[in-house]
Structure 1
Amino acid sequence: MVDATSAFQDSLPVSSDDLLAQMRAAGVEFELYEHIPLRTVEDAKTVQGGAVPGGPGRIDIKNFYLRDRKKRNHLVVLEQDREVDLKALGAQMGVAGLSFGSADRLMEFLGVRPGAVSPLAMVNGAGTGVQLWMDAAVKAADFVHAHPLVNDRTVAIRPGDLESLLAGWGADISWLEP
């Protein structure tokens, strides 16, 4: 069965290895951690402070691929413990009828499988019209932890480097205040 781990990265539009090579070529410094597959925030918390170092200045995120009533695609990146009410989130974003996108659409628009969604999926999403929304808390962190298109790897990347990568891919960030 195909899953979101690096064992199946060659079936993605951009493999995790290719993404990491792009990041290195762009001069982006990052720390790479390999760990058990993480499908949920609860899974991620089992490796935080262990396989994925935690601590002050590091922010762990959760990511949602959503569609609105007008069938527009959104990638929402929030601090992992932030409460989410889709109706209130939609009001903050100025869109109505937010719902979770299907696994097929996730692959079509972001090029990843469920469990591997992250802002780094905008390497694909920028070209397919996905709107990126990020928690303003990301800007204040020293490092952001994100999956590099697979869920058994995590990179720690500086927010400024992440913003530069996203801009290079043509992704515009809309910031969400708490």
Structure 2
Amino acid sequence: MTVATYEQCINELKRLGIKYSMVDHPAAKTTEEADHYIEGYEGARTKTMFLHDKHHQHYMIIMDDAKRMDFKKFQEISGTKRISMAKDEEIMDELGLKPGIISPFGLINNEAKDIKIYVDQMVLDEPIWTFHPNENTHTIFLDNQDVLKFIEAQGFTYEVINL
């Protein structure tokens, strides 16, 4: 598995003609820390959850970072059982990312195209989304439709849900 890099993310955004803005900051180990570095900037603070079920199917959920993940509700929505956080090795194997830096940009490295992607309606309603671009020393701001365009350009589809 290729390790997802900041340069890889930026090059793919340029290739797709996606405009973005960026804030450089010290390494952020938590969403709270990252949010502190971008205070005053407009954009939904997102978190990207990477989960698996008992059959080792992987799920990526993009949601507002202030919202609590409701595992039971997600199981009902997705029709799966025994959802839990993916292990660190799975995150690296499937996305080429380190835990804590999970974002849709890691999809570049998923050659099997076997991750199911869900976007929470609450974040979809926000026009600008923020993520770490494969490094936790930057926060990138993108139009929500451009994030969805990026996901589709990697060969994935997504489903909008209400968590």
Verify same fold: TM over 0.5: yes
- 1:90 and 1:126 mapped to 2: Cα distance? 25
**Which deviations, in whole Å up to 9, do the C-alpha atoms of 1:126-175 show, x marking residues without a partner?**
63411111112333222110111111111100011111111111111111
Counterpart selection for 2:24 from 17, 34, 40: 34
TM-score (norm 2): 0.90
Equivalences for 1:29-108 in 2 at 5 Å?
Answer: 29-49=19-39, 53-54=41-42, 58-108=43-93
Q: Is the Cα contact below 8 Å between 2:60 and 2:118 reproduced in 1?
A: yes
- Aligned equivalent of 1:6: none
Q: What 5-or-longer segments of structure 2 have no aligned partner?
A: none
Aligned-pair identity (%): 18
Aligned to 2:12: 22
Q: CA RMSD in A?
A: 1.8
CA distance in 2, matches of 1:113, 1:70: 22
- 1:112 and 2:112 equivalent? no
2-side partners of 1:12 and 1:37: how far apart?
22
Q: Deviations over 1:1-56 (max 9, x none)?
A: xxxxxxxxxx9533211220121121100001111222222222322315xx23xx
Question: What is the CA distance between 1:90 and its match in structure 2?
Answer: 1.6
Query: For 1:173 and 1:37, how far apart are their aligned partners in 2?
Result: 30
**Is residue 4–residue 95 contact of structure 2 (8 Å, CA) maintained in 1?**
no
